[in-house]
């Protein structure tokens, strides 16, 4: 290598070294400048606020203070977790009390105790009073329309019965844990406005309720007196000339809240999609709670219900003649067709019921409850039935060619029965009447 070439290489090495040293110096200066311009960051530990001691005001009524923490309905004053600052307290839910909204968290049907639903080893559906009002349900069958596994309203517009099927079986019905017995037309119809909730227990429950349907059962919980004053009044109207109203009053009677009351009353008058039929009802449900001490509660429940017009018996032709398939002239029997005799048909029903629910707490574990109920259900029923006709007339709905128009069907429904008429056999009365009275 020549000296000239060696000198060039030496100068290149020296210059590159100077460039590296300069760049390192510049980067160091930049980092130093950046570190000096950033503000210092300090982290302080959170300050722990001391809880203010609760001030308990002395009062001569020690029973009142104790009941505010433990009431007969299983309520307790708790602050809402979603409430903001300054929000008041609300009543915790009870298995036999009111539910705010549509979702219940506790029930007494599955265990006959006030138990959370998540801890109950059974499938239970709860329809609250708020949901009943939101749906505008006028019967128990309408209230359970959206309950899974339940089939109701099999008779359509006929509201004389509340036959409810759970998992394919006709479900037994209970009111406050007591079974509702029915005998033919002496069928107890409970007014939905008198209830706090309707609960459906899915599956067998004979361990708790004795002989019962394998599909499940339906338990209705009556409205009970509340410790806080509550006053409600409503008036509504609707289709078929409906007029309906009611009141719901509740609260303490005395200052010590030893006596609580509740008075629920409602009534309605409405027509139907079927001609010559109406529904009328007057219902009164008073209740009274007595709490002699902090551990004992006795609630007296009463109901009187009168249905002077309880509906109709709309038996239309078999095999869908005139309903699913047209008549000979192509017409259909309208849904407003009344197949009976308006001057003869009649059905009225009354319900009188009284009972009590008593409970006593021995300690935080042991509690004794007793329920007693007695009811009377007189029913008056009379109708002119085509089932009492002779066979030629009984089969006329399906086979006779003389029944060709809707006018023929109406003419058959307006015939007045006579003793020697061809329409009525001499051995069968034209009208059947029965008065049934059951007591449980």
Q: How far apart are CA 89 and CA 108, in angstroms?
A: 24
Q: How far apart are CA 308 and CA 101, in angstroms?
A: 34
**pLDDT higher at 242 or 411:** 242
Instruction: Find the helix or strand (DSSP H, E) in which 420 lies.
Output: none
Pull the structure tokens for residue 85.
């600052």
Beta carbons within 8 Å of 85's beta carbon, 6+ residues apart: none
Give the CATH H-level superfamily of domain 65-77+90-222.
TonB-dependent receptor, plug domain (2.170.130.10)
Listed in order, the ranges of the chain carrying CATH 2.170.130.10 are 65-77+90-222
Which 3 state secondary structure label does DSSP give 288? strand
Q: Categorise residue 292: left if φ over 0, alpha if ψ from -120 to 50, beta otherwise.
A: alpha
- For the segment 205-214, the average pLDDT, to the nearest whole number, is 90
Which residues are 238's β-sheet partners? 242
Q: How crowded is residue 291: how many other Cβ atoms within 10 Å of its Cβ?
A: 21
CB distance 344 to 413 below 8 Å: no
Checking if the pLDDT of 284 tops 70, the result is yes
- Confidence class for position 39, pLDDT limits 50, 70, 90: low
DSSP assignment of 105-163: -EESTTTSS-EEGGG-SSEEEEEEHHHHHHHT--SHHHHTTTSTTEE--TTTT--S---
Which 3 state secondary structure label does DSSP give 17? helix
Checking if the pLDDT of 215 tops 90, the result is yes
Lowest mean per-residue pLDDT among 125-129, 252-256, 307-311 = 307-311
The predicted pLDDT at position 45 comes to 58
Question: Tens of pLDDT along 389-424?
Answer: 333 333 333 333 334 444 444 444 443 333 322 222
Lowest mean per-residue pLDDT among 90-99, 206-215, 375-384 = 375-384
Of 150, 193, 157, nearest to 173 (Cα)?
150
Checking if the pLDDT of 83 tops 50, the result is no
Give exposure, 223-239, as e/b (b: 16+ Cβ within 10 Å): bbbbbeeeeeeeeeeee
The predicted pLDDT at position 337 comes to 82
Give exposure, 369-383, as e/b (b: 16+ Cβ within 10 Å): eebebebebebbbeb
Fold of 230-436: Maltoporin; Chain A (2.40.170)
- Confidence class for position 362, pLDDT limits 50, 70, 90: very high
Listed in order, the ranges of the chain carrying CATH 2.40.170.20 are 230-436
The predicted pLDDT at position 244 comes to 95
Strand blocks (E) in 209-295: 216-222, 230-238, 242-252, 259-271, 278-290
Question: Tens of pLDDT along 166-177?
Answer: 999 999 999 999
Checking if the pLDDT of 61 tops 90, the result is no
């Amino acid at each position: 290598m020549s000296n000239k070439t060696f000198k060039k290489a030496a100068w290149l090495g020296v210059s590159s070294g100077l460039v590296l040293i300069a760049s390192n110096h510049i980067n160091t200066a930049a980092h130093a400048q950046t570190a000096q311009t950033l503000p210092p960051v300090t982290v302080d530990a959170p300050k722990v606020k001391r809880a203010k001691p609760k001030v308990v005001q002395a009062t001569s009524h020690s029973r009142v203070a104790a009941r505010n923490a433990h009431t007969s309905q299983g309520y307790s004053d708790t602050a809402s977790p979603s409430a903001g600052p300054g929000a008041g307290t609300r009543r915790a839910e009870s298995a036999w009390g009111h539910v705010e909204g549509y979702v219940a968290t506790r029930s007494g049907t599955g265990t006959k105790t006030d138990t959370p639903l998540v801890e109950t080893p059974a499938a239970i559906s709860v329809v609250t009073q708020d949901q009943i009002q939101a749906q505008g349900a006028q019967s128990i069958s309408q209230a359970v329309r959206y309950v899974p596994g339940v089939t109701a309203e099999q008779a359509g517009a006929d509201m004389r019965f509340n036959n409810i099927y759970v998992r394919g079986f006709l479900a037994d019905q209970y009111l406050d844990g007591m079974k509702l017995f029915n005998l033919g037309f002496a069928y107890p119809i409970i007014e939905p406005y008198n209830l706090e909730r309707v609960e459906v227990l899915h599956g067998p429950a004979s361990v708790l309720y004795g002989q019962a349907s394998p599909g499940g059962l339906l338990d209705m919980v009556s409205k009970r007196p509340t410790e806080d004053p509550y006053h409600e009044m409503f008036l509504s109207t609707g289709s078929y000339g409906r007029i309906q109203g009611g009141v719901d009053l509740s609260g303490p009677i005395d200052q010590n809240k030893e006596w609580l009351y509740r008075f629920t009353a409602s009534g309605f008058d409405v027509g139907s999609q079927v001609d010559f039929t109406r529904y009328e009802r007057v219902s009164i449900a008073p209740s009274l709670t007595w709490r002699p001490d902090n551990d004992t509660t006795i609630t007296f429940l009463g109901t009187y219900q009168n249905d002077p017009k309880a509906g109709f018996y709309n038996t239309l032709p078999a095999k869908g003649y005139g309903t699913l398939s047209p008549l000979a002239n192509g017409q259909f029997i309208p849904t407003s067709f009344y197949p009976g005799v308006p001057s003869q048909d009649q059905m009225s029903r009354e319900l009188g019921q009284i009972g009590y629910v008593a409970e006593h707490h021995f300690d935080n574990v042991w509690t004794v409850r007793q329920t007693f109920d007695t009811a009377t259900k007189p029913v008056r029923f009379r109708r002119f039935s085509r089932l009492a006709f002779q066979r030629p007339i009984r089969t006329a709905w399906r086979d006779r060619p003389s029944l060709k128009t809707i006018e023929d069907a109406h003419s058959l429904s307006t015939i007045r029965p006579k003793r020697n008429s061809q329409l009525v056999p001499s051995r069968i009365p034209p009208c059947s009447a029965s008065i049934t009275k059951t007591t449980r």
